[in-house]
Amino acid sequence: MHNVVPNMPTHTKEQNITKDKLQRHLPKGSGHKVTDEILKMINQVEHDTGLEQQFMEEQILSNMNIVKDLKISLSAYVDAVKYCTLKQNMSNRKAWEIVFPERLDKVTKLAEARAAEGRENSVNIDSHVSNYNNTEAVAKISAQLMVAVHIQYAPMFHASIKKQFDLMNGVGARPNDNVSAHVQLNAAISLAELTKMPEDNKIELQIGISDEAKSVQKGLTAQLARLADSQMARLANGEGIETVQKIGINTDAIVEADIDE
């Protein structure tokens, strides 16, 4: 049996997996049949990998949707779940060696046999690992197992806030602990930082002329057009150029009527 993998979350609820329960969790139309061999494979997952049994049972049940999509066997699916979960806390090669000890033995013996015969050893375990890691089953399961850190550790964040709140109010780790004013101040500063409103970092960038500027420009153009017509008429009526050329543009007088004309 492998040692329990460190940093893995643990669960207290057993899934009580049976053949019937597995069959019910299979996606509709998958066509798979749960056998005693599959059930045995799942029941000994902790023994084979060191992964906490209840946690792995949950992982197996919650990712079964891909069985139908990829048309893989249930045994291949269970192996892929074990591999993807293991590689979250260790190298791909180490995870592969744990999940596929028979393959590792076969590859190792082949390499040793070639070396004994004086042949060039072209057996590369890393290439086997890479090929398996690039399979569609591994890609899909890995994607489904990826959980944002802030979600995964949300309970810890809540505990951290509560601890800072207690320290700020002078509550120590043990009864009758004396929390200094300095510690309370630092806790208050930290709590304020943890709970502050998110900053609005949105940048509004407008390129070109605003609608208001366009309205003013259109109204001004309309005024100039009317002024030009008026000046031509005054000149035609014999008015002197000295008085006609005096103009008075009033931007305050620009109204919607000017724009609509």
Q: What is the per-residue pLDDT across 196-216, written as a single tens digit (0 to 9) for each?
A: 776 666 655 556 666 666 776
Contact between 223 and 183 under an 8 Å Cβ cutoff? The reply is: no
Q: Residue for token digits 């699916």? A: 77
pLDDT band at 235 (very low <50, low <70, confident <90, very high): confident
pLDDT band at 151 (very low <50, low <70, confident <90, very high): low
Q: Over 50: is that where the pLDDT of 132 sits?
A: yes
Q: Over 80: is that where the pLDDT of 138 sits?
A: yes
Q: In the prediction, which pLDDT does 254 show?
A: 46
Q: Over 70: is that where the pLDDT of 101 sits?
A: yes
The 10s digit of each residue's pLDDT in 17-56 is 888 888 888 888 778 888 999 999 999 889 888 888 888 8
Rounded-to-10 torsion of CA 219, 225, 226, 232 = 160
- Please state, in angstroms and rounded to a whole number, the distance separating the CA atoms of residues 174 and 203: 48
Contact between 133 and 156 under an 8 Å Cβ cutoff? The reply is: no
Torsion sign, CA atoms 106, 109, 110, 111: positive
CA 252 to chain centre: 54
Q: What is the mean pLDDT of the chain?
A: 77
Work out the average pLDDT over 233-247.
73
The terminus-to-terminus CA distance of the chain in angstroms comes to 88
Q: Over 80: is that where the pLDDT of 179 sits?
A: no
Contact between 205 and 231 under an 8 Å Cβ cutoff? The reply is: no
Q: In the prediction, which pLDDT does 62 show?
A: 84
Q: Over 90: is that where the pLDDT of 98 sits?
A: yes
Q: Domain residues of the chain, as ranges?
A: 19-146, 152-195, 211-260
- Please state, in angstroms and rounded to a whole number, the distance separating the CA atoms of residues 215 and 202: 27
Q: Over 90: is that where the pLDDT of 93 sits?
A: yes
Return the percentage of the chain with pLDDT > 70, whole number: 75
Contact between 141 and 63 under an 8 Å Cβ cutoff? The reply is: yes
- What is each CA distance from 19 to 26, 48, 60, 70, 201, in whole angstroms? 11, 20, 13, 21, 53
Q: Give me 226's structure tokens.
A: 């009317």
The 10s digit of each residue's pLDDT in 52-74 is 888 888 888 888 888 877 778 99
Contact between 53 and 65 under an 8 Å Cβ cutoff? The reply is: no
Contact between 144 and 66 under an 8 Å Cβ cutoff? The reply is: yes
